[in-house]
């Protein structure tokens, strides 16, 4: 059974993760860093006081298909086996200047997606190069 506090935690998780992921992605892209796909879970676990604690867990999703499949099936199973309940998940993917954040609210079974075009497809980085997506073209 879910409580009003659970619903509040999910709403705060979605809002906070959207802002945090977008800001972090912008910073990492500006520094030229590669960005892996990630998944983060909002977790609920009963405590000894009869109440519950909330936390987050997750990490980088492997890039190969076998790794993705294992990750998507095994990690949630381990989380649940440890006595946690997954209230919401947040999956992120950055590709060619577009950041996609997908949320799955397990309380309501609603799915929500945010898409941000962080950089235009064509950007001048300086006077000698132009980038289109991940391709850098010399202008000389």
Residue ranges making up the domain that contains 100: 4-138
* pLDDT tens figures, 15-68: 999 999 999 999 988 888 888 999 999 999 999 998 999 999 988 998 888 888
Predicted local confidence at residue 40, as pLDDT: 94
Predicted local confidence at residue 33, as pLDDT: 87
Predicted local confidence at residue 72, as pLDDT: 81
* pLDDT tens figures, 74-130: 889 999 999 999 999 999 999 888 999 999 999 999 999 999 988 644 444 444 444
pLDDT > 90 fraction of the chain, expressed in percent and rounded: 54
Of 66 and 1, more confident: 66
Scanning the chain, the segments in alpha helix (DSSP H) are: 4-30, 65-81
Buried b (16+ CB within 10 A) or exposed e, 62-91: eeeeeeeeebeeebeeebeeeebbbbbbbb
Q: By the 8 A CB rule, do 116 and 123 touch?
A: no
Predicted local confidence at residue 134, as pLDDT: 53
Split into its structural domains, the chain has a count of 1
Predicted local confidence at residue 127, as pLDDT: 47
């Amino acid at each position: 059974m879910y409580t009003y506090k659970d619903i509040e935690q999910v709403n705060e998780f979605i809002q906070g993760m959207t802002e945090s992921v977008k800001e972090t992605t912008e910073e990492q892209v500006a520094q030229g860093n590669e960005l892996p796909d990630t998944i983060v879970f909002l977790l609920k676990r009963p405590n000894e006081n009869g109440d519950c604690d909330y936390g987050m867990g997750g990490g980088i999703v492997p890039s190969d298909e076998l790794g993705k499949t294992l990750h998507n099936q095994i990690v949630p199973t381990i989380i649940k086996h440890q006595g946690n309940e997954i209230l919401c998940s947040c999956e992120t993917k950055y590709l060619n200047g577009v950041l996609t954040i997908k949320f799955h609210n397990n309380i309501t079974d609603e799915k929500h997606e945010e898409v941000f075009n962080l950089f235009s497809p064509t950007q001048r980085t300086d006077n000698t190069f132009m980038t289109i997506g991940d391709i850098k073209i010399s202008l000389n």
